[in-house]
């Protein structure tokens, strides 16, 4: 009696049924899929981690822009807890009144040095920022920055205070 061809096992020189994968090929496909998923997850975390630097730079720039146009109210809103801190409010008002800091035009950041840069968890520190409007002398100031959170859940950036101008080669 002849065997049904669908029940025959592949022997030497015969191919397996269409759609059937040998165990080694299936393991390889699963390992490749797992590696792709791991790569995408790690890439997403690295992207989130590196984007925090842009977040701080953007916040610093917005604060300096408000200062250059003389907008004390905007500066106080951007500085976390400033409205309730008389010393912070006083410093903001002094900066807004300082003619060296009132500048029309586009602000250019010349240098930004942050001790909280590239932290994996929260940190607090003084960022040194050198800025100018093209055609004017540079200004150097210190901005107190607090980062909270971590790489997995996200890092938040808060600006706490801004200094009066310091010497061009000064440190914060």
pLDDT tens sequence across 14-57: 555 555 567 777 888 889 989 999 998 888 877 777 776 778 89
At 98 the pLDDT is 95
Domain boundaries, the chain: 24-162
Alpha-carbon distance of 20 to 26, in angstroms, equals 9
Backbone angles phi, psi at 113, to 5 degrees: -125, 115
Instruction: Considering only CA atoms, give the Rg of the chain.
Output: 29
Ramachandran area for residue 19 (φ above 0: left; ψ -120 to 50: alpha; else beta)? left
Q: What gap in Å lies between CA 7 and CA 62, rounded to an integer?
A: 74
Beta bridge partners of 146: 124, 158
Beta strands in 14-166, from DSSP E residues, in sequence order: 107-113, 121-133, 139-150, 154-162
Q: For residue 127, what pLDDT band results from cuts at 50, 70 and 90?
A: very high
- pLDDT, one tens digit per residue, over 55-96 is 889 999 999 999 999 999 999 999 999 999 999 999 999 999
Angle between helices 23-68 and 86-97 (to 10 degrees): 70
Q: How far apart are CA 25 and CA 39, in angstroms?
A: 21
Pick from 93, 89, 69, 72: nearest CA to 81? 89
- Put simply, whether the predicted model's pTM sits higher than 0.75 gets the answer no
Question: What is the model's pLDDT at position 21?
Answer: 65
6 sits in which H/E element: none
The answer to whether residue 125 scores a pLDDT higher than 80 is yes
């Amino acid at each position: 009696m002849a065997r049904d061809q669908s029940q025959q096992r592949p022997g030497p020189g015969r191919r397996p049924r269409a759609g059937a994968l040998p165990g080694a090929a299936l393991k390889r496909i699963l390992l490749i899929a797992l590696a792709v998923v791991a790569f995408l997850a790690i890439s997403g975390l690295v992207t989130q981690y590196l984007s925090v630097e842009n977040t701080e730079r953007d916040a610093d720039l917005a604060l300096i822009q408000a200062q250059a146009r003389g907008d004390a109210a905007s500066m106080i809103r951007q500085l976390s807890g400033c409205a309730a801190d008389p010393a912070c409010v006083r410093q903001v008002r002094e900066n807004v009144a300082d003619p060296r800091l009132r500048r029309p035009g586009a602000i250019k950041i010349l240098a930004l040095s942050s001790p909280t840069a590239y932290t994996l968890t929260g940190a607090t520190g003084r960022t040194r920022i050198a800025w100018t409007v093209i055609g004017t002398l540079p200004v150097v100031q210190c901005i107190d920055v607090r980062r909270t959170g971590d790489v997995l859940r996200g890092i938040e950036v808060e600006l706490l205070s801004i200094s009066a101008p310091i010497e061009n080669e000064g440190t914060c």
